């Protein structure tokens, strides 16, 4: 990790830059995949699955028998851990439900808002060497709480045409209605446009590689909603002299092992801590199975040494990290000043991996600086907000003249007439 010592504030913007991702090149490769699935449906999926996953499948849907066998193949300790995480995640997301509250804005004028579930949602769950079964929990649990009628899950098959057992167990546990052995951009296309086998959904959720990310962005042009823009995963650790170097090092590495394009940033006002963390990183790297991946990510990572806590807070808000760990003496004080972050972890004993798995918060978060304007996935992500209003005759008498004046000023006579004809009947 490169160390930047007391940079001028004019340099901060440059220091918050992520690695440049050339999405245009990827999109040009993804467009034919989307078009093929849109036109040829299951036939295209069979060809693309053979091409990219190395397996020929005649049936994409996971059967009940396969789900049962997958659940049996998960050891009891992992089952217990997944179930404990499920309870916490469900508890936190259930707390986001709000009662309908009717407001009388003017005597005789009532307004209210109701959350209505999105009927059909699609969940993309990456497979491969590190299958993200935890993401099933993060997406399927709020979907079921919201009341989504159809929850479709797509995940790439392995060379034997199977989906990882832990993904099947988590899907079964959380109420996923249909599971399909399809991965990559072709899975996004299938859920966006529908095939003979895979139903079309209204909104697509879930992480993925650059092809999946590009596919999600492209299908929005056809009216399909997605969860949020995605980029490489990232963490910022704000740490003062009270921080434990080995804790900070492990937090930075836990993000770096996600992928070679991940980014880990240490923001500190302690030169001693910066040096100690560097030593701890080099020591902990030796025991990581994904050492090559972590090392590549650290090449694009930085240690920012600043003068004081206020500068650290300002730099963090400018960076707008996906994950922000506050390894400082008074984390609650600092947390109140954080304006841009996907999820914040307070104190020396709150690692980011807790939020990744089991604390209860959602780990599907805005990356690449999108935390300046986007929230992470939550219960509302699976809902539509519909507003209602009801006006009595007395209410229209009071509100009508105001509407008429405004409509006339905007030269919308029919709008004014819709009020006038009613007032004339009262």
* Binding region: 124, 186, 209, 233, 255, 258, 323, 356, 410, 415
Q: Is 422 left (phi over 0), alpha (psi -120 to 50) or beta?
A: alpha
Instruction: Identify the residue with better confidence: 392 or 231.
Output: 392
Confidence of residue 230 (pLDDT cuts 50, 70, 90): confident
Q: What percent of the chain has pLDDT over 90?
A: 95
Active-site residue list: 322-323
Q: How many CB atoms lie within 10 A of CB 16?
A: 19
Distance, in Å, from the CA atom of 174 to the CA atom of 153, rounded to the nearest integer, reads 12
- Which residues in 44-82 are b (16+ Cβ under 10 Å) and which e? bbbebbeeebeeebeebebeeebbeebbeebeeeeeeeb
- Give the pLDDT confidence score for residue 129 in this predicted structure: 62
Q: Is 106 left (phi over 0), alpha (psi -120 to 50) or beta?
A: beta
Instruction: Identify the residue with better confidence: 380 or 209.
Output: 380
State yes or no: pLDDT of 426 exceeds 70. Answer: yes
- Give the pLDDT confidence score for residue 127 in this predicted structure: 87
Q: What is the mean pLDDT of residues 281-286?
A: 97
State yes or no: pLDDT of 390 exceeds 80. Answer: yes
Phi and psi angles of residue 121, each rounded to the nearest 5 degrees, phi first: -125, 150
Q: What percent of the chain has pLDDT over 70?
A: 100
* Binding region for NAD(+): 124, 186, 209
Q: Are strands 120-124 and 323-327 parallel, antiparallel or unpaired?
A: unpaired
- Give the pLDDT confidence score for residue 61 in this predicted structure: 98
Q: What is residue 39's three-state secondary structure?
A: helix
Helical spans, DSSP H, in 149-270: 165-174, 184-193, 210-219, 245-256
- Give the pLDDT confidence score for residue 19 in this predicted structure: 81
Are residues 208 and 126 in contact, defined by beta-carbon separation less than 8 angstroms?
A: yes
Q: What is the mean pLDDT of residues 145-150?
A: 98
State yes or no: pLDDT of 22 exceeds 90. Answer: no
Q: Which two tokens stand for residue 230?
A: 């995605």
Q: What is the pLDDT of residues 248-270, one digit of tens each?
A: 999 999 999 998 999 999 999 99
3-state helix, strand, coil in the chain (%, to 5): 50, 15, 35
State yes or no: pLDDT of 56 exceeds 80. Answer: yes
Q: What is the mean pLDDT of residues 104-125?
A: 98
Confidence of residue 368 (pLDDT cuts 50, 70, 90): very high
- Mean pLDDT, the chain, integer: 97
Confidence of residue 322 (pLDDT cuts 50, 70, 90): very high
- Give the pLDDT confidence score for residue 50 in this predicted structure: 96
Q: What is the mean pLDDT of residues 273-297?
A: 96
Q: What is the pLDDT of residues 165-199, one digit of tens each?
A: 999 999 999 999 999 999 999 999 999 999 999 99
Confidence of residue 130 (pLDDT cuts 50, 70, 90): confident
Q: Are strands 323-327 and 203-205 parallel, antiparallel or unpaired?
A: unpaired
- Give the pLDDT confidence score for residue 229 in this predicted structure: 84
Closest C-alpha among 190, 217, 230, 205 to residue 24: 217
């Amino acid at each position: 990790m490169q160390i930047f010592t007391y940079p001028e504030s004019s340099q901060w913007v440059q220091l918050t830059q992520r690695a440049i991702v050339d999405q245009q090149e990827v999109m040009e490769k993804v467009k034919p995949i989307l078009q093929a699935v849109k036109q040829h449906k299951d036939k295209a999926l069979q060809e693309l699955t053979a091409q990219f996953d190395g397996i020929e499948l005649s049936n994409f849907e996971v059967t009940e028998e396969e789900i049962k066998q997958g659940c049996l193949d998960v050891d009891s300790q992992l089952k217990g851990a997944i179930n404990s995480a499920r309870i916490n995640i469900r508890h936190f997301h259930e707390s986001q439900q709000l009662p309908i509250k009717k407001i009388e804005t003017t005597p005789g004028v009532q307004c209210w808002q109701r959350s209505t579930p999105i009927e059909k949602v699609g969940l993309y769950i990456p497979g491969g060497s590190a299958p993200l079964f935890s993401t099933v929990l993060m997406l399927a649990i709020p979907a079921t709480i919201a009341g989504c009628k159809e929850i479709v899950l797509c995940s790439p098959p392995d060379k034997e045409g199977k989906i990882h057992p832990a993904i099947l167990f988590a899907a079964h546990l959380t109420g996923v209605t249909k599971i399909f052995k399809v991965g990559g951009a072709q899975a996004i296309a299938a859920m966006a446009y529908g095939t003979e086998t895979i139903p079309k959904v209204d909104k697509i959720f879930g992480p993925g590689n650059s092809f999946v990310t590009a596919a999600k962005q492209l299908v929005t042009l056809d009216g399909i909603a997605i969860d949020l823009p995605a980029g490489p995963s990232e963490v910022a650790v704000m740490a003062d002299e009270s921080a434990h170097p080995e804790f900070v090092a492990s937090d930075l590495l836990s993000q770096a092992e996600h992928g070679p394009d991940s980014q880990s940033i240490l923001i500190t006002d302690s030169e001693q801590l910066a040096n100690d963390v560097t030593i701890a990183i080099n020591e902990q790297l030796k025991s990581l199975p994904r050492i090559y991946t972590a090392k590549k990510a650290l090449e694009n990572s930085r240690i920012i040494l600043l003068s004081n806590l206020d500068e650290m807070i300002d730099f963090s808000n400018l960076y707008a990290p996906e994950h922000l760990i506050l390894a400082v003496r008074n984390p609650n004080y600092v947390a109140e000043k954080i304006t841009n972050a996907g999820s914040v972890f307070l104190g020396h004993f709150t690692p980011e991996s807790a939020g990744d798995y089991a604390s209860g918060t959602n780990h599907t978060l805005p990356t690449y600086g999108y935390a300046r304007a986007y929230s992470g996935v939550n219960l509302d992500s699976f809902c539509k907000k519909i507003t209602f209003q009801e006006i009595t005759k007395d209410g229209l008498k009071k509100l009508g003249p105001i509407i008429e004046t405004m409509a006339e000023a905007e030269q919308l006579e029919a709008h004014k007439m819709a009020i006038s004809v009613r007032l004339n009947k009262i």
